[in-house]
Structure 1
Amino acid sequence: MTLAPYAVRPETSRGRLHPEAGGDARSPFQRDRDRIIHATAFRRLQYKTQVFVYHEGDHFRTRLTHSIEVAQIARSIARQLALDEDLAEALALAHDLGHPPFGHAGEDALNSAMKPYGGFDHNAQSLKAVTALETRYAGFDGLNLTWETLEGLAKHNGPLRRPSPYIAAYDARHPLDLDTHASAEAQVAALADDIAYNNHDLDDGLRARLFALEEVAGLPLIGEALAEARACAADVAPERLAPEMIRRVINHMVGDVVAESRRRLAALAPEGVDDIRRAGHPVIAFSEAMTQANLAVRDFLFHRMYRHWRVNRTMAKSKRVVQLLFSLLHGGPQMLPPMWRARAGDPGSAQCALVVCDYIAGMTDRYALEEHRRMTDPDIPG
């Protein structure tokens, strides 16, 4: 496929922090994607959850299934806009690598514990995972991804006026132009995340019976898609109706992003990727009508799913697990595994907090629960 003038081009990549020979027929962004898929942090996503803890059901989304779904949507949008699909896919697959166990509950607990040390942000932790925490190569820490992939991870939501401590420190070593927008491919990955997130939480909420189809029928876009799904077969089984509705919503949202982005790109008339970065506004976006519809869905999910009493109970328990693990390990780093203990420094120190945070952020749900049991139940060996 011929790339658009404003697409990122593999042959003009700004390269890697540690220079490497090409070595095979893959493009730099295909190599990035493959490194991400083989990373330890990527495998752990299988047992990191979005809303439901891993043992609540085999059919609910995990961070791994979500990332794969985001990658599929990102490739579809990138293809229609003549962007580099491999870069969009790599960013989609890597965007959640920094998420701690237990979804937003785990992130809130770590952010609270880390307030005296700069807080915790999963986007910054994703960058840290691929630039420091992965130890798969003899010559360097991290995955040594291309500048374009690192740029997209750091600022896929827009310029960073006040970067987190880790991103600021990394940028001082390897500048990522934090004051500009990211490439169109990175913006595609960010929008694909929004599309997947809302729709798949809607699907999981219906599956968990936190709400019923009749309760979403009045939502903009959702109601229209539900009517289309019902019209496709008068006697469609209830268990098939929700998936029919969800896929139509995704199709409508993807079509809207493509149409609105084409309108913005035509108005900007960018001659290269740097015109995208300097545009001063995103070029990949929803239309205003779709933005409002999306906000209505988010508001519904916030009140009916994320604040459902069953979810609240799970989130409260999950937060306590993370809080206790952090407190015990920060005060007693001698309980950390040897590799982590060697880096932790003195109990209660800022260095110890950073190491403990990295250790907990890398945990899966089930490993965090096992660590909690080992550290609190006298009958379980440490």
Structure 2
Amino acid sequence: MKKSVLLFTIILLGFSQLYAKNYRVSLLTCEPGGELYSVFGHSAVRVTDMETGRDLVYNYGTFDFNPSFYMKFARGKLDYWLSVSPYDRFIGHYNYLGQAVREQVLDLNEQQTAKMVEFLQVNYQPDNRYYRYDFFYDNCATRIRDMLETVLGKQLEWNDPVGEEEVTFRDLIDEYVYPLPWGDLGIDLALGSVIDVEASEREKQYLPDYMEAAFGRAEIVGDGPTRPLVKSQRTILDLPPVAVAPSFFNPYFLFWGIAILFMVLTFIGFRKKKLFIGFDQTFFGILSVVGIVVVLLWFFTEHTATKYNWNLLWAFPLHGLLVYGLGMKHPAQWVKKYLLFALIMADAAVVFWILGWQSFHPSVLPLILVVILRSNFLYYNLEKFKAQKRIVKD
């Protein structure tokens, strides 16, 4: 079996060397879509046989969207693969989705074209086509960039711009997910402080738009006169940007509504000597669930971007203990101590945010304020109000 595969690969390599001059290789860049999985856009490689007219698209962004997709993605165990489809089918798909597509034809010589075709054909073999997806470091765009660097080696110069504004990985994400506030919130809750670092020009190429711009600046050197990597470019599908309809049901309105509710409850509770414990039990119980998810993503997945996630400072798994502790007829001493702990942790979250150690999603600010408000209020009044209530009953 191994001998057959080796023989097949050798035949492919020989074929690509023989007909390299008949191929045209180009980068396809697809505009962002309206869903979270497509909001960052897409990249693919087009290979056209100029002699036979055969036109194929090599796509590193293929995945199986089945019921286990989200579970595998959450655990960092999602495999993507390289697929090949006719060019017309690929363009028809994006025309149906309403996403614009642009093309950059690469100015490769015959030898470079041959290596590029070899790389794609060998990579498409069943034993090679699958890879473990990583959003920042191994995706549909970075695979193409890495292939180009392998093929051209030192002949490739990226010509990175100088004096560009410093942006973090999280800043780059925010550029695309801002129209999807719930998706933006979910990403900011899941990803840790490791993405709050400056992204180099090369690292920005995990986003198709940035890789397209990098291709436009790059040059090929050392095989004759220096020339641009991109020989020509054009828009294949000239479509307007996909519009995402704004919704009033978003985390900003919802969470500030929750904060206002707790402010009103705290004011009324202080005036009438009431605690409204049920609201606190629900609130801290939900935060506990969020904290458990953060812990699972940090310690029990293969993701690298979910490490050191300081959302734990305000959404802590053990906040669930307050569901039981606050309901006790005679509050134990540990309840008061835990309320002080929750208060300090929430204050620390604000400090981490201000100092730039991690950027939290703006919509969680009212939730952090609720933790500070209610833990402080309950710390000073829980025992007193419950004791007064027992005296009245007696």
What is the TM-score of this pair, normalised by structure 2?
Answer: 0.24
Greater relative contact order (Cα < 8 A, sep 6+): 1
TM-score calculated relative to the size of structure 1: 0.25
Larger radius of gyration: 2
